[in-house]
Structure 1
Amino acid sequence: MRLLVPFCTLALLAGCTHENGDAAVGFHFDEQLFRQDIETLSSDAFEGRAPTTHGEKMTLDYLVSAFKSMGLQPGPAGSYLQKVPMVSYTASEQQQITLAGLPLKYRQDVVFSSHHDVKQIDIENAPLVFVGYGINAPEYGWNDYQGLNMQGKIAVILVNDPGFAGPTSGKFNGKAMTYYGRWTYKYEEASRQGALGAIIIHQTEPASYPWAVVQHSWTGPQQDLAEANPQPRVAVEGWMTLDAAKAVFAASGLELQAALDRAAHGPMQLPLEQTATIKFANNAEYGESYNVIANLPGTAKADEHILFTGHWDHLGKDDSLAGDKIFNGAMDNASGVSGMLAIARQFVAAAKAGHGIKRSVTFVVTTGEEQGLLGSRYYADHPLYPLKNTIGVFNLDSTNVYGRTKDFTIVGKGKSELELYLTAAATLQQRQVNAEQHPESGGYFRSDHFSFAKYGVPAVFGSSGQEPIDEATAKYKEQMQKRMKGCYHNVCDEYQADWDLSGALEDLAVYYQAATMLGNSNARPGYYEGTEFYSLRPAAHIKL
């Protein structure tokens, strides 16, 4: 069926205008096409859409065909594809892991991999050092590595940052995770410190996901960018369960909880006086993956671009599993990609009706997000359109399947002026705009927009709110959430024919309207003072 978003009609009747913007134009989102795209991209035929697989080829063909049929233009080199050189590292399932004299089981107790092109990892009796949160943050007066020589040693690290352990302590950003709390940072910093290896202690609450996610996401082939001059990286990186960590600390004559408490109060280093032996076969295979690029030139400022991003990839399939082996990734992120296609169709329809916007709109559908934002990282490092002329980035990741809401969520709210446009569009739907409920999960750093934020390009990640529009929707949401529980990065993230996508369609309308307002303006949004990216592109004091 077709859904006419009500607020657009109201905007037309009211002659809705914004500073430096044109009147809003009514538009349709075709729910049937939206559903069809989600169902197709997440079908078993696409094999979980892992990069460098047959599933990738099917996905690329589908997306390129869709953008071509709309009439969108390819990237500046004349292709809809941006090549992303990648390498896939696969650690053997047979691993010999001994920490503090305790033999531990791969997948059950620990997960290890290596992002080095070596056939064999053979670490014998490497000293274990607990380095608290593993953070070196001068602006917070915090350095867990101060004066410590990590050569030949393995860092044992807590997930998240000290603000999580003490939300009212004044440390870091309180409950809201900083980038220092992300697992990617932990490995990066341990590498900069010259460590031989890094092991993160998994805790469900500060990590914001259960051990099952680690088991599925950090095992099997692990993709990375195949860079000509790679940054230094630890020889092995991994995770261990909380129970395994307790046992390791006990074998060292220590209590883990006491160490956690100390780590929350200040930087710390604690040699465990124990060693690690880690041995497994390793394989590296080089290949190419691709971002998909499609462009709708602006009518007056074609050299200025508004980007929509979202990742096409998921986890592929795991032949070691019994029963269902395919990680279909319907919500994450067939739904987001399908939303991008829906938004693209609206911009094309508006342009054909004589309502094209002044700035260009470019769709960047990325690869390798699940492996560490690889596709967006590569694009940001090798932009097809200059980042200085990239006005803003709207990111779609896992759209709403739980029905309409009274509110709209901006993840990491308070960072950039780009949020003003989302707020204005959501207000037209009479929806309240809120920050995410769990900022401790570090959502702002976990999807493709972050790759652009690091360069100072204003980038936002929005989603449906938490308050259902009515009691019937609330009841449906409760039932569907029970059905979908545990499906994040699991084989049960599959398309459901009875998903209520009305809320998702309203969210797409928010994105479309926000980009239209920005596209017809002369404003260049920036980051607010006090945020991590203010110095890169300061706020321009925009008023809508």
Structure 2
Amino acid sequence: MKKLLLTLCISSLILSCGTSSKSNTPSLTTKAPADPVEYASSITSEELKTMLYQYASDEFEGRETGKKGQKLAVEYLKEHYKAMEIPTPLGGDDYFQEVPLEKQKVTEAKLSVNGKEFSAFKNHIVITATESMNMSIDEIVYVGYGIDSDNYSDYKDIDVKGKIVLAKAGEPKDVEGNYITSGTSEDTKWTNGRQSLSSKRDAAKDNGAKGLLFVDNDLFSRYAPYFQRQAESGASGRLSLKSNESGMMMLMINEELGKAIYASISEDSKPQTIPTKIDLAIENKSESITSENVVAYIKGSEKPNEIVVISAHLDHEGIKDGKVYNGADDDGSGTIAIIEIAEAFKMAEKDGNGPKRSILFLHVTGEEKGLLGSRHYTDNDPIFPLEDTVADLNIDMIGRIDPKRTEGDRNYVYLIGSDKLSTDLHNISEEVNKKYTNVELDYTYNDENDPNRFYYRSDHYNFAKNNVPVIFYFNGTHDDYHQPSDTPDKIEYDLLENRTRLVFHTAWEVANRDERVVVDKATE
């Protein structure tokens, strides 16, 4: 009888639920929000350690771009994604986005000004030349310091399209002795060594110039002996992205040659056209090399066309003088962190809690050679349109402690770029950390004018320059940075675990929130 009464009561309850209005009784099919903590707990120091000891072992030979060790590394990553049943956006079994590179041997240009010949390595060195050329020039455009910024531009009132430009080192200062572009006395990207070289090259290129002659006596005295040694030994030069388009030629020249072209170059900074007679011949000597980015993704359940990128670079320095540069922190730590994050998201997907937006796990090559893999992705072949890319969370060195950081919690991470383009992303990052991980977020290097230039030195920058919001996670440098002593036994695995969980929780929130992250600080 008790069983019968119980059956009747249950039947009555079911009928009652079936006839109740929605306003009074929640639906029995309503699904509770997934708890990301459950999936974050799968990210463990033990698994991170096991993977990193293999990935940063001598077997991988330092993972130099284009070399055997790098090929072993990409196969390692591919097999992990296949084992986790995480597909590639390229389809089938193709987890590799090919990155076409070229290695150029040092080129010796022949150059004369008004009939006077100037010598390679003594007066000029070829920085870039994507093709052989033989030209006679009747005039060049002098662009002063060659700066093109928001509040000061040497290109403002002069046309340089299709022309050769001449620029000199340095940057003008105001009456108080501060640099014009920044308003401070700290070196900027226009004055800071190698950064000024690339900044002035990019300014010339962006304004349509086909070539740049850059006068920098100090930099020339440092570069020329190295270039000459490389030329005499027959060694190959730096890797660069191979392009089907004709690139911009760039020569660095000394002051003697600069004055031969324009006698008043030291005193005069006014942009103007200079009549001259320059004969220039360059023979391009390059070797084609193919490297690979590794790509895997989880398709979004509701907004599949919106993409959250989680990136890290897979390469390192290779072998030098017989010593393997293992790169455990740089960037083995970021690489295996992404694998653990991907596994956590896959577990959620299998439970029916996949991300609303798609997530691309992007392991880029050639970071140590000049951010080449990420630049190929953003500038040449974005697998997903950049306008559909919500954010890039970039992980580069999160396994160690910065010895220069003498105050604060050891459980910290430097964040760079989180507030540069999106207030939304910065606030999400702060709130997620307080809720889940309690890492001390240190913004010491979150400054575009920081002398270390960290904002420009990892793969997030190629996304940021395209107005994709970024966060760069970084533990700072240490004595083992770019040394063969950067080995997995020196990693702080408890910190690596917590920092990896921070990235996971941030990605989870960005991927699952109702509204897309707003870009409220876009640059031109």
TM-score (norm 1): 0.68
Decide which of 440, 443, 460 is 1:449's aligned counterpart: 460
Q: Which residue of 1 is the match for residue 248 of structure 2?
A: 233
Given the superposition, is the C-alpha separation of residues 506 and 75 from structure 1 closer, same or farther in structure 2, using an over 3 Å criterion? same
**Per-residue deviation at 1:287?**
4.1
CA contact (8 A) 1:307 1:361 kept: yes
Q: C-alpha distance in 1, partners of 2:386/2:518? A: 13
SS of match in other structure, 2:43:
strand
CA contact (8 A) 1:295 1:363 kept: yes
Q: Which residues of 2 match residues 97-246 of structure 1 at below 5 A?
A: 112-118=126-132, 131=143, 133-137=145-149, 139-143=150-154, 146-147=157-158, 155-158=166-169, 171-172=181-182, 183-191=197-205, 192=207, 194=209, 196-199=211-214, 201=216, 220-228=236-244, 230=245, 232-234=247-249, 236-237=250-251
Q: Which residue of 2 is the match for residue 532 of structure 1?
A: 523
Q: Which residue of 2 is the match for residue 394 of structure 1?
A: 393
**Per-residue deviation at 1:394?**
0.7
The alignment status of 1:463 with 2:474, answered yes or no, reads yes
Q: C-alpha distance in 1, partners of 2:97/2:329? A: 25
Q: C-alpha distance in 2, partners of 1:513/1:528? A: 23
Residue ranges of structure 2 left out of the alignment (5+ in a row) = 1-31, 403-408
Q: C-alpha distance in 2, partners of 1:410/1:270? A: 43
CA contact (8 A) 1:249 1:255 kept: no
CA contact (8 A) 1:131 1:268 kept: yes
CA contact (8 A) 1:199 1:237 kept: yes
State the Cα deviation string for residues 167-225 of structure 1 (Å, max 9, x = none).
96663475695799664342233345535444474979xxxxx989x989998343333
Q: C-alpha distance in 2, partners of 1:43/1:173? A: 47
CA contact (8 A) 1:155 1:195 kept: no
State the Cα deviation string for residues 297-341 of structure 1 (Å, max 9, x = none).
3344334321111222334456xxxx3465544433233212212
Residue ranges of structure 1 left out of the alignment (5+ in a row) = 1-19, 205-209, 467-479, 534-544
SS of match in other structure, 2:236:
coil
Percent of pairs with identical residues: 20
**Per-residue deviation at 1:511?**
0.9
CA contact (8 A) 2:131 2:246 kept: no
Q: Decide which moves more: 435-444 or 501-510.
A: 435-444
SS of match in other structure, 1:450:
helix
Aligned residues: 464
Given the superposition, is the C-alpha separation of residues 302 and 249 from structure 1 closer, same or farther in structure 2, using an over 3 Å criterion? closer
**Per-residue deviation at 1:249?**
8.2
**Per-residue deviation at 1:512?**
0.8
SS of match in other structure, 2:198:
helix
1:188 partner letter = D
Q: C-alpha distance in 1, partners of 2:120/2:215? A: 15
Q: Which residues of 2 match residues 21-36 of structure 1 at below 5 A?
A: 23-26=35-38, 27-36=41-50
Given the superposition, is the C-alpha separation of residues 303 and 59 from structure 1 closer, same or farther in structure 2, using an over 3 Å criterion? same
Q: C-alpha distance in 2, partners of 1:146/1:196? A: 19
Decide which of 436, 445, 448 is 2:445's aligned counterpart: 436
Q: Which residue of 1 is the match for residue 431 of structure 2?
A: 424
**Per-residue deviation at 1:293?**
1.0
The alignment status of 1:61 with 2:75, answered yes or no, reads yes
**Per-residue deviation at 1:515?**
0.8
Decide which of 498, 508, 516 is 1:506's aligned counterpart: 498
Given the superposition, is the C-alpha separation of residues 379 and 171 from structure 1 closer, same or farther in structure 2, using an over 3 Å criterion? closer
Given the superposition, is the C-alpha separation of residues 426 and 173 from structure 1 closer, same or farther in structure 2, using an over 3 Å criterion? farther
Q: Decide which moves more: 508-517 or 85-94.
A: 85-94
Q: C-alpha distance in 2, partners of 1:308/1:166? A: 44
CA contact (8 A) 2:56 2:326 kept: yes
Q: Decide which moves more: 419-428 or 97-106.
A: 97-106
SS of match in other structure, 1:143:
coil
Q: Which residue of 2 is the match for residue 474 of structure 1?
A: none
The alignment status of 1:410 with 2:422, answered yes or no, reads no
Q: Decide which moves more: 140-149 or 439-448.
A: 140-149
Q: C-alpha distance in 2, partners of 1:327/1:283? A: 28
| Cα RMSD, aligned residues only | 4.8
Given the superposition, is the C-alpha separation of residues 172 and 500 from structure 1 closer, same or farther in structure 2, using an over 3 Å criterion? same
Given the superposition, is the C-alpha separation of residues 273 and 298 from structure 1 closer, same or farther in structure 2, using an over 3 Å criterion? closer
Q: Which residues of 2 match residues 175-324 of structure 1 at below 5 A?
A: 183-191=197-205, 192=207, 194=209, 196-199=211-214, 201=216, 220-228=236-244, 230=245, 232-234=247-249, 236-237=250-251, 268=270, 282-317=284-319, 323-324=321-322
Q: Which residue of 2 is the match for residue 337 of structure 1?
A: 335
Q: C-alpha distance in 2, partners of 1:342/1:110? A: 49
Q: C-alpha distance in 1, partners of 2:282/2:512? A: 56
CA contact (8 A) 1:413 1:434 kept: no
Q: Which residue of 1 is the match for residue 375 of structure 2?
A: 377
**Per-residue deviation at 1:520?**
1.8
Given the superposition, is the C-alpha separation of residues 520 and 196 from structure 1 closer, same or farther in structure 2, using an over 3 Å criterion? closer
Q: Decide which moves more: 339-348 or 382-391.
A: 382-391
Q: C-alpha distance in 1, partners of 2:230/2:508? A: 37
Given the superposition, is the C-alpha separation of residues 183 and 101 from structure 1 closer, same or farther in structure 2, using an over 3 Å criterion? same
Q: Which residue of 1 is the match for residue 89 of structure 2?
A: 75
Given the superposition, is the C-alpha separation of residues 517 and 167 from structure 1 closer, same or farther in structure 2, using an over 3 Å criterion? farther
Q: C-alpha distance in 2, partners of 1:253/1:386? A: 45
Q: Which residue of 2 is the match for residue 14 of structure 1?
A: none
Q: C-alpha distance in 1, partners of 2:55/2:277? A: 46
Q: C-alpha distance in 1, partners of 2:121/2:100? A: 29
